[in-house]
Structure 1
């Protein structure tokens, strides 16, 4: 696995329903190589958007992003924002660090709500509990 090409996304270019509808982000897989696959889904319509979480500081076995993107992730986070990028056909929320705790997931999704102008209480998060009962299914690298 190598660094995936990332292109910055302006929140104003995201679908309008994200700022209007109640929305749930759902983890659909485990953390692997710094990425948690997920999906944003409108709670009131059939709208859906693939949306992953990315731990921007993962560097082993390879860096998940290039250095410039990693710096942008840290700058956005420091200013209370989340760096949104497109990786292939998927929107991805970048956060500093190497993994995602439940509070970090809530923080990243809350920052997305802020970016699209939605009240934070319009966004929900759904995580899966690990089979071994040790916490949410964030897996390993």
Structure 2
């Protein structure tokens, strides 16, 4: 299990609450409990991953405390922001991701940084990149 630390949304760059922002995954969201991604405004970007905290096989991806905090935040219409492997990460209840779960998580992040959700977009990949 990786080290996961709490992160305050106000520790993220201020531009995330000011203009149009796009979250883009580096791979398909169907890849498991961790989806690496980035938030960008066209000129700047910051890593922002998604972690499905309830995945437990072959080993748990998050401890009980992180899982509890993630479920509590979700229940209250928020998302639990953490640092996972040195990267800002949205800790989301569940074992994997659907398009709806990604949209909901990124929308909750927008609210957490004081942005209007209409200013945030999500770009999803239909399959894995075949890089060269």
* Count of residue correspondences: 128
Shift of 1:89: 2.3
Does residue 87 of structure 1 match 2:84? Answer: yes
User: 1:32-79 deviations in whole A, cap 9, x for unaligned?
Assistant: 451011111113xx2111110010100001101111001000000000
The TM-score, its normalising length taken from structure 1, stands at: 0.86
In the TM superposition, what are the counterparts of 1:1-141 in structure 2 within 5 Å? Answer: 3-30=1-28, 31-43=30-42, 46-130=43-127
Gaps of 5+ in 1: 132-136
Quote the RMSD (CA, aligned, Å).
1.5
Q: Residues of 2 paired with 1:36 and 1:88: CA distance?
A: 12
Q: Residues of 2 paired with 1:77 and 1:114: CA distance?
A: 13
* SS, match of residue 48 in structure 2: strand
Structure holding more helix per residue: 2
Aligned structure 1 segments of 4 or more residues deviating by more than 3 angstroms: 30-33
Shift of 1:29: 1.7
Worse-matched range after superposition: 25-34 or 63-72: 25-34
Gaps of 5+ in 2: none
The TM-score, its normalising length taken from structure 2, stands at: 0.91
